[in-house]
Structure 1
Amino acid sequence: MALDVRLVSGPLSPAAELEAFLAGRTGDGAVVTFTGLARDVGADGSVVDALTLDWYPGMTERSMRDIAEAAAARFPVRDLVVAHRCGDIVPGETIVFVAAAAAHRRAAFAAADYLMDRLKTEAAFWKRETGPAGVRWIEPVDEDRAAAARWKDETP
């Protein structure tokens, strides 16, 4: 089992991440990926010029790794990648890339879904949007919390 968990301070290429993840892979029947992009409109409909993800060195990486380790323990996957941006991100840029490889698709889909639900609500990031109306801090919404909470009730 390989876990590749990284905090990335510059551009993140989903195509390059996927190519590297697929290289030499012959024993898995499924690879599922998720790419999250920065939007140009906030949840309230306001224009967003930039998204900033602040982090605390060491703590943020540990929170990401803890989530990835929990996914690896919960689902029969062979490899996981979590590459997450930090710093300033403009609309259209990749924020996060997640990949899960498994013998069968259901485990790969579940692992990727689980990773994103928990990263969205639990990873140690402080998020703010900047636009013409100023700066606004972002917190997970009820929908995000409900998505993450469903994993507490489900057995692997």
Structure 2
Amino acid sequence: MRDGYPRTGADVVREVLAALAPAELPFLESVLEAYRIDPWTLDGRRAGVPVDQVSAWSAFVLGFVAETVVATEPAAQGRGRLRTMLTRRRRSRTGELANVPDAPVPAFEAEQLRLAWSSAVDAATCRGHPPRDREAFAAAVVAALAAGHPPRQRHPAED
């Protein structure tokens, strides 16, 4: 949480990259900006991916978070959110994806974490990653989502 606001899609991407590919963190802001201008999906549409990031983890992680983690429907909480995660990769919602880096990401429950693991392995498999990288990606995603939101810090003015 930053300044009282919940974690965002960009925060989740940062956490995953910190565990998976920390060398890409300095370039993440340019990838996020490119995404806001022209979002991409994991199903092969790479129009907005910066040329120097096409094979980078950052573009892949951001696409994954957009399509499978960030719920764009207000009602997509709890069990409805699981359904959203299951169907997200089957639909192209590019128009709604531009706000993903700034969208809040609520804490995940155990069942949602199992689904996120499975989705992460599937996405990494489709991208052609070897088994070791698939497992590392899934573990980084689940660790970032399991962290939940830190408790809200109280400010003296609130007492």
Same fold (TM over 0.5): no
- Please report the TM-score for the alignment, with normalisation by the length of structure 2: 0.32
Q: Judging by fraction of residues, say which structure has more strand.
A: 1
Q: Judging by fraction of residues, say which structure has more helix.
A: 2
